[in-house]
Amino acid sequence: MAKRSGAVEVLVMPAAVTASPDAAFWRGKRVLLTGHTGFKGAWLALWLQRLGAQVTGLALPPGAEPALYTLARVGQGLHASHQVDIRDASAVARVVRDARPQLVLHLAAQALVRAGYADPLGTHATNVMGTAHVLDALRDQPQVRVALVVTTDKVYRNREWAYPYREDDPLGGHDPYSASKAAAELVTASYRDAFLAAQDVAVASARAGNVIGGGDWAADRLLPDAVRAWSAGQTLHIRHPHATRPWQHVIEPLAAYLCLAERLWQAPQLAGAYNFGPLPHEAASVGNVIKMASSLYSAQACSYEIESAGPHEAGWLALETALARQVLGVAPRWPLATAVARTMNWYRAQAAGADARALCLADLQAWEETQATDMPAEDAA
């Protein structure tokens, strides 16, 4: 089925379809994955390996200790892994030339709000110029067909309004991290319009909500902070218990990225920006997420200390994901309760000695086997 949007024909998926990555598509494809040593990147690298892709990684060494990339032995299944700072344009260009990718998935970033306050210049250099370096390296590379730039749900000018943000809402960013990601969106659109569309490269950006999942040990993230505190018998201190976010298991946006890349290969006119996340009414507060997590952990001491000092953080944020549901057939399979349970079970099993790689692959298999639910009624018209 097709709909018209201006002068562009938009291919719309049947409303009851919940898309899943297609192994037949990815098998043998040359993929450049930036940020493969990070939390989301390591999960995505494992999934691409499972799908049979030939993956070249480009990233800094793992920044957290422990690191999922190391524990899950992600590097063993890669075609190549390059330790490169994306702020180094010439080094990025060399990797692209050598890898000759057909698809590029750009996840490398400075991904923490508080770290952005501590190092605003480094954050902008990585997230803005780093994105420009990756996209610029694709110019005059005829084998490239698809480039997907992953940003964040925080790219919107957040006015704390009680409606979810759509892809055509104004971009902005109070803090350096959010502003740098909004700027990366402009860089992405500029390279698409000025260079890469004429080269027949479909360029899109993906704006995903807050992710949870096993193997994240970054600082200042809710469930990693909880696991660290509770495993040490300490109290978890919650700064903003009423802050509301579009939480989702890490597998959900990764599935969306892969499905979007597949559709762009087939229908490059779908290039543009996409939100990925739960339905707007399923956004949940920090306090509710911790309540779910604490019920699954033996030690669960918490203190709720509403913080008025410190750097600004948005109080309410939700995404409108109708475009992804209608055009791509993408919608989450796991409700929040399942996502939290899977996450906490992963950490408990890993702490008890289970293999991190096996735990990730088991979660991927469970997600793939989950019965896809019908789209919401409002999308069926």
Q: Is the pLDDT of residue 94 over 70?
A: yes
**pTM of the predicted model, to two decimals?**
0.91
The pLDDT tens digits of the residues spanning 308-361 come to: 555 655 567 889 999 999 999 999 999 999 999 999 999 999 999 999 999 999
Written in H, E and C, the secondary structure of the chain is CEEEECCEEEECCCCCCCCCCCHHHHCCCEEEEECCCCHHHHHHHHHHHHHCCEEEEEECCCCCCCCHHHHCCHHHHCCEEEECCCCCHHHHHHHHHHHCCCEEEECCCCCCHHHHHHCHHHHHHHHHHHHHHHHHCCCCCCCCCEEEEECCHHHECCCCCCCCECCCCCECCCCHHHHHHHHHHHHHHHHHHHHHCCCCCEEEEEEECCEECCCCCCCCCHHHHHHHHHHCCCCEEECCCCCEECCEECHHHHHHHHHHHHHHHHCHHHCCEEEECCCHHHCEEHHHHHHHHHCCCCCCCEEECCCCCCCCCCCECCECCHHHHHHHCCCCCCCHHHHHHHHHHHHHHHHCCCCHHHHHHHHHHHHHHCCCCCCCHHHCC
Q: Is the pLDDT of residue 300 over 70?
A: yes
Confidence band of 306 (pLDDT split at 50, 70, 90): low
Q: Which of 292-301, 303-312, 326-335 ranks highest by mean pLDDT? A: 326-335
Q: Which CATH class is domain 23-367?
A: alpha beta
Q: What is the pLDDT of residue 310?
A: 55
Q: What is the mean pLDDT of residues 212-241?
A: 91
Give the residue extent of every domain in the chain: 23-367
Average pLDDT of span 41-54: 98
